Homo-oligomer: A and B are copies of this chain.
């Protein structure tokens, strides 16, 4: 990996990207000062970079409050991403079928370092907002999708992930004990699917089945989230799992040959 003092490294561009990344769920619109504060850049630099992003259409600016916001261009980037990811095109029609058959929310998650990221979501029921939008990153160890994927890794990688990947306590019932997670992943390796309960929000049950890539490793998972108020683990395994696994298995072969070793 290149160091940041390299002659092949353009500092101004990197700083501009920091402005973009300053926006997140807790920071939906930012003033110039807030932007400077969050990026650690000084006021002048922030001013110039923010203005550039505004002129280039990457940031909207409220003329009254002078606050900046992500622009529609951010969605256009997502659009380009969707075309570039070979998995999406293969998976989308099958996911639509699945969500119609189940009548429950269906997600497609990919591994992204030690997190999973939701790349497609088909909400069928009212849930909390964050569960309805794409691009959300969650610690892989705390999600059914992440566990389903890790379960397909070779022994040493799997152990390394279980021991070192991050866990954030989202709810009181988020599993912090890595031994318990190891058990859950062992189960997933044996059964071919993973389950998580109450990891991200209370009374939520997630079940996921891996999409196997070119080398036997999963790089994605089909996942389904249901409420513990209306579902039991037994009913999930009986009614949801078969169709979920069929879908994941149908996507896997279509996906092979694509996506070798991008880093």
Question: Which residues on A are within 8 Å of B, measured CB to CB?
Answer: 1-2, 4, 6-10, 12-17, 20-21, 23-25, 28-29, 47-49, 51-53, 55-56, 58, 60-64, 69-70, 72, 74-85, 88-89, 92-93, 96-97, 100, 110, 112, 117, 119, 122-126, 129, 132-137, 260-263
Contacts and interface: CB of A to CB of B under 8 A. Distances in A.
A13 B46 CA distance: 12
Contact of A20 (B77, B88, B117): B77
A interface secondary structure, majority: mixed
Contacts of A52: 8-10, 13-14
A37 B261 CA distance: 25
Contacts of A55: 1-2, 4, 9, 14
Assembly of this chain: how many copies?
Answer: 2
Contacts of A75: 78, 81, 117, 119, 134-135
B64 A261 contact: yes
Contacts of A9: 48, 51-52, 55
Nearest to A30: B84
A50 to B, nearest CB: 9
Contact of A79 (B61, B69, B135): B135
Contact of A133 (B8, B29, B77, B88): B88
Given A83-B28, A96-B123, A133-B88, A117 B49 contact: no
